[in-house]
Chain A
């Protein structure tokens, strides 16, 4: 896929802010009836004027710094002019020349496992338009309803250079971006419309196609794969790919043309004179100082401080909540053991149930790790405990006791080993004749007899000893 060239424009809703970009309306409209979070300013009523939310600029600078960008000394707003019913002023207040920040980068692990540096062209601020609800599909709707609750929500547009080489890389990039945004506490990715993606896709030598309306970071891989296949098929049939804008239809999983190059908008950008140029150079040192530890730095520190593998460190830092959870447990138990059990087991069990880390108490995790390191329970029992807590609730110790889940004592295991070896003479012969793996069958028998309460590694050792004792 070396010929694939992808660049992204990501719209991030700074929905952790309390008020909108240019007015005092509340940003928590997500469960509210339509058109209830509006005022003359965000409705663009005649005579109203915008007033900049300075916190929004601070949030923007935070993100830009985390993306390793250069922050502008002075920034200003422009009007982007176009007619659409979701845009009550007939223009969107956005940025053009003098954007908030330029020239950053994000590191991701590429398709080939190598670290790749995705360059960020610019980061700028703008206001969100309203939301259109079509009665039916976009092309066949009899009418369309407009909800201006979203109108004026603070947006950050992050634009990448065309550095991405596959749909998967695009998804990895978005995952990374999302992680960073969550670390910065500027954004709740679970809210509808929090992250929207437009992308530019081309095959080497071909024209560039813009794909709009990718509304989730999960959709991006599908949308881009579809578009690349479409372009490849055209190329194969000798048809030239033309520059155009296409709309991603999430339901059907296809892209449809909405604008050709000739129909491209002239947005007539010009300065928004109702807002004054903003000198932000002086803001940067303070914001920089307040920046939290970011994913890459945290991953590095986890590896060094806790001596865990890079894979574990990466997995544990991919979500700030998981990282905090891990650090709490690791500080009170064996950090390596905690890493294995949180990264490999707990995360898997949560994912299987579509739950987040909030669904599991860190005290319970700590207790399980401690029981493991004190060899009170076996790995198998630990897994059972985690599953039981997630499915039915309760605490590890209670469950262990009520279900009789305790690591079997040695006599009991020795007895089971003797019985298992005696009953598996065929396997013993195989083992003695050189098939080392035959011993696993016998260990399995031991586990069966002890109902999983034996420590498999102990059982393994005892079986081996028993066979040797028997054959000597």
Chain B
């Protein structure tokens, strides 16, 4: 899709295409964007039209989740506390995108600081699901997913801490990839839980995801956890999947999983079998401990990562300045939303003297066990297949008042972040008219294989071709 669009833009006009998209966004009721970078994007488009050049993403507009720093464009994490923060620098991925000719068209809505599964905790209000405006687009990268699904952006970047790329991809019927931890530099990604998160593409097709990964992946000396990667995922996606061994984890099916979702995923496994892959049931025995371990680690890290927001150097400033403790406490009280505060408080508690061993250290041990589960399983099989989410998109307001049930919905996505392995969500059908996502996982840094299997499935099925009928 992007390859085709690139040619269209090259023979037509980047500026015209951008105008068309901005018009569509203006008419939209999705609330997918927090900031539109109209001026700078149009200027970049005009520049491109005047002197077209060859780059992997030449002339292609891209929407960026609002927790990725963009030089000169306000970056808020959908939080009041960061209103007015205009980063003086570009994130590594933004530098890479620009170097390949992409045009940063705007910033997309998200759960505040990426803490959520529904994009309802944004200070800009919820984003709506283009398949059903009364439903959530998933989260936390809900704005990016909704924009791509509704044609308001040809592609987008999100970030995935516990499913934040895959969940909205699943709910909005598009492709979302969480790369192996360390494959994409986090430099410029405003941290929520830094040991878990990765930036990943949200696209209409697997091929587009591979193209974006080629651009944003690879070593960056500014991120000490980033590693050198073998580039050219785009070339590795073609080829068949004969002989690929697929594992289906028994813990990812059954109670709590929507029957329509289960049916769609089993159908997908049959399709892969038809393409020459084999499958068998496997066990990831520590799955039931993943959710609490994930939330303890994520909240602990968040309590520290979000400590820098004190209003002193950037962001929200309220009332009269008083003494230091009063002033920064007031700013944080006013600047953070309810869910963010809840996670900061719980994380602070989990790290406190006397509780550290009981919660944080124990969670780290569970994390090791989860990682081993995957290591063992991925010795016997090459790919693990499961539902991305236990159910399709839920209604706006349906779960937000019950945080625990909301946390529970991340049950199939968070183990992947704990293990650090790559996973992709791709459309595999519908349940009651709502998209269902198939989640595929692989060994670390085997994105090549992962994308090849995903691409083979996509080519054999029609789901990625369906778009929501949005106004």
Q: Which residues of A approach B to under 8 Å, CB–CB?
A: 40, 43-52, 79, 81, 83-85, 88-91, 144, 146, 266, 268, 270, 273-276
A88 and B310 CA atoms in complex are apart in Å by: 9
A276 and B223 CA atoms in complex are apart in Å by: 10
A144 and B77 CA atoms in complex are apart in Å by: 30
A sample of 28 cross-chain residue pairs with beta-carbon separation below 8 angstroms, ordered by A number, consists of: A43-B313, A45-B87, A47-B75, A47-B187, A50-B224, A51-B224, A52-B224, A81-B307, A81-B351, A83-B307, A84-B324, A85-B310, A85-B312, A85-B324, A88-B312, A88-B313, A90-B307, A90-B309, A146-B312, A266-B352, A268-B304, A268-B348, A270-B300, A270-B356, A273-B195, A273-B301, A274-B191, A276-B224
Determine if B300 and A274 form an interchain contact, defined as CB atoms under 8 angstroms apart.
no
| A275–chain B nearest beta-carbon distance, Å | 5
Among B154-211, those with CB < 8 Å from A are: 186-191, 194-195
By CB atoms of chain B within 10 A, which of A43, A47, A146, A274 has the most? A47
- Which residue in chain A gives the minimum CB-CB distance to B307? A90
A121 and B223 CA atoms in complex are apart in Å by: 32
Determine if A90 and B91 form an interchain contact, defined as CB atoms under 8 angstroms apart.
no
B27 within 8 A of A: no
User: Known contacts A50-B224, A274-B223; can you find 15 more A-B pairs with CB under 8 A?
Assistant: A40-B89, A44-B308, A45-B314, A46-B69, A46-B87, A46-B314, A47-B191, A51-B221, A51-B224, A52-B224, A89-B307, A90-B304, A146-B312, A268-B356, A270-B351
A274 and B220 CA atoms in complex are apart in Å by: 13
B222 within 8 A of A: yes
- Which residue in chain A gives the minimum CB-CB distance to B90? A47
Given contacts A83-B328, A274-B225, A276-B225, contact A47 B189 (CB under 8 A): yes
Determine if B351 and A88 form an interchain contact, defined as CB atoms under 8 angstroms apart.
no
Determine if A46 and B328 form an interchain contact, defined as CB atoms under 8 angstroms apart.
no
B interface residue count range (under 10 / 10 to 19 / 20 to 34 / 35 or more): 35 or more
Determine if A89 and B351 form an interchain contact, defined as CB atoms under 8 angstroms apart.
no
- Which residue in chain A gives the minimum CB-CB distance to B68? A47
B353 within 8 A of A: yes
Given contacts A40-B89, A89-B307, A273-B195, contact A47 B190 (CB under 8 A): yes
Chain B 209-227, CB within 8 Å of chain A: the 1/0 string? 0000000000001111100
A85 and B310 CA atoms in complex are apart in Å by: 9
B88 within 8 A of A: yes
A422 and B347 CA atoms in complex are apart in Å by: 97
B85 within 8 A of A: yes
By CB atoms of chain A within 10 A, which of B189, B304, B312, B314 has the most? B304
Given contacts A268-B304, A268-B351, contact A47 B221 (CB under 8 A): no
Partner of A273, one of B87, B89, B225, B303: B225
- Which residue in chain B gives the minimum CB-CB distance to A23? B222
Chain B 300-326, CB within 8 Å of chain A: the 1/0 string? 110110111110111000000000110
Q: Which residues of B contact A47 (CB under 8 A)?
A: 68-69, 75, 87, 89, 91, 187-191
**Inter-chain contact total with CB atoms closer than 8 Å:** 99
- Which residue in chain B gives the minimum CB-CB distance to A274? B194
Q: Which residues of B contact A52 (CB under 8 A)?
A: 224
Given contacts A85-B324, A270-B304, A274-B194, contact A51 B222 (CB under 8 A): yes
Given contacts A40-B88, A46-B75, A47-B91, contact A270 B360 (CB under 8 A): yes
Q: Which residues of A contact B223 (CB under 8 A)?
A: 49, 51, 274
Determine if B187 and A79 form an interchain contact, defined as CB atoms under 8 angstroms apart.
no
A81 and B351 CA atoms in complex are apart in Å by: 10
A358 and B352 CA atoms in complex are apart in Å by: 53
Q: Which residues of B contact A276 (CB under 8 A)?
A: 224-225
A89 and B307 CA atoms in complex are apart in Å by: 6
Determine if A46 and B304 form an interchain contact, defined as CB atoms under 8 angstroms apart.
no
- Which residue in chain B gives the minimum CB-CB distance to A148? B313
Determine if B187 and A81 form an interchain contact, defined as CB atoms under 8 angstroms apart.
no
By CB atoms of chain A within 10 A, which of B188, B308, B352 has the most? B308
Q: Which residues of B contact A49 (CB under 8 A)?
A: 186-187, 222-224
Q: Which residues of B contact A144 (CB under 8 A)?
A: 324
Q: Which residues of A contact B221 (CB under 8 A)?
A: 51
A52 and B221 CA atoms in complex are apart in Å by: 10
A270 and B195 CA atoms in complex are apart in Å by: 12
Partner of B190, one of A46, A81, A270, A273: A46
Q: Which residues of A contact B310 (CB under 8 A)?
A: 83, 85, 90
B82 within 8 A of A: yes
- Which residue in chain A gives the minimum CB-CB distance to B82? A46
- Which residue in chain B gives the minimum CB-CB distance to A144? B324
A252 and B300 CA atoms in complex are apart in Å by: 42
Q: Which residues of B contact A266 (CB under 8 A)?
A: 352-353
By CB atoms of chain B within 10 A, which of A83, A88, A91 has the most? A83
Determine if B308 and A273 form an interchain contact, defined as CB atoms under 8 angstroms apart.
no
Determine if B187 and A89 form an interchain contact, defined as CB atoms under 8 angstroms apart.
no
Determine if B308 and A274 form an interchain contact, defined as CB atoms under 8 angstroms apart.
no
Q: Which residues of A contact B360 (CB under 8 A)?
A: 270
Q: Which residues of A contact B222 (CB under 8 A)?
A: 49, 51
Q: Which residues of B contact A273 (CB under 8 A)?
A: 194-195, 225, 301
Closest 7 pairs (CB-CB, A-B): A90-B307, A273-B195, A268-B351, A46-B190, A47-B69, A47-B188, A90-B308
Determine if B304 and A81 form an interchain contact, defined as CB atoms under 8 angstroms apart.
yes
- Which residue in chain A gives the minimum CB-CB distance to B349? A268
Given contacts A45-B87, A46-B85, A47-B91, contact A79 B304 (CB under 8 A): yes
| A137–chain B nearest beta-carbon distance, Å | 15
Q: Which residues of A contact B89 (CB under 8 A)?
A: 40, 45, 47
| B53–chain A nearest beta-carbon distance, Å | 28
Determine if A275 and B300 form an interchain contact, defined as CB atoms under 8 angstroms apart.
no
| A257–chain B nearest beta-carbon distance, Å | 18
Q: Which residues of A contact B328 (CB under 8 A)?
A: 83
Q: Which residues of B contact A85 (CB under 8 A)?
A: 310, 312, 324
A266 and B82 CA atoms in complex are apart in Å by: 27
A83 and B188 CA atoms in complex are apart in Å by: 23
| B391–chain A nearest beta-carbon distance, Å | 32
Given contacts A47-B190, A275-B224, contact A91 B307 (CB under 8 A): yes
Determine if B308 and A88 form an interchain contact, defined as CB atoms under 8 angstroms apart.
yes
- Which residue in chain A gives the minimum CB-CB distance to B361? A270
A89 and B303 CA atoms in complex are apart in Å by: 12
Determine if A268 and B352 form an interchain contact, defined as CB atoms under 8 angstroms apart.
yes
Q: Which residues of B contact A48 (CB under 8 A)?
A: 187-188
Q: Which residues of B contact A270 (CB under 8 A)?
A: 300, 304, 351, 356, 360
| B396–chain A nearest beta-carbon distance, Å | 28
By CB atoms of chain A within 10 A, which of B187, B301, B307, B353 has the most? B307
Q: Which residues of B contact A275 (CB under 8 A)?
A: 224
- Which residue in chain B gives the minimum CB-CB distance to A273? B195
Q: Which residues of A contact B225 (CB under 8 A)?
A: 273-274, 276
Q: Which residues of A contact B348 (CB under 8 A)?
A: 268
A84 and B325 CA atoms in complex are apart in Å by: 8
A90 and B344 CA atoms in complex are apart in Å by: 13
| A24–chain B nearest beta-carbon distance, Å | 10
- Which residue in chain B gives the minimum CB-CB distance to A46? B190
Q: Which residues of B contact A79 (CB under 8 A)?
A: 304
Chain B 364-380, CB within 8 Å of chain A: the 1/0 string? 00000000000000000
- Which residue in chain A gives the minimum CB-CB distance to B328? A83
A49 and B182 CA atoms in complex are apart in Å by: 13
A120 and B400 CA atoms in complex are apart in Å by: 54
Q: Which residues of A contact B303 (CB under 8 A)?
A: 81, 268
A79 and B300 CA atoms in complex are apart in Å by: 12
By CB atoms of chain A within 10 A, which of B223, B313, B356 has the most? B313
- Which residue in chain B gives the minimum CB-CB distance to A90? B307
| B256–chain A nearest beta-carbon distance, Å | 31
A47 and B189 CA atoms in complex are apart in Å by: 5
A88 and B225 CA atoms in complex are apart in Å by: 22
A341 and B360 CA atoms in complex are apart in Å by: 64
By CB atoms of chain B within 10 A, which of A88, A146, A268, A273 has the most? A268
A47 and B94 CA atoms in complex are apart in Å by: 12
| B222–chain A nearest beta-carbon distance, Å | 6
Q: Which residues of A contact B87 (CB under 8 A)?
A: 40, 45-47
| A271–chain B nearest beta-carbon distance, Å | 8
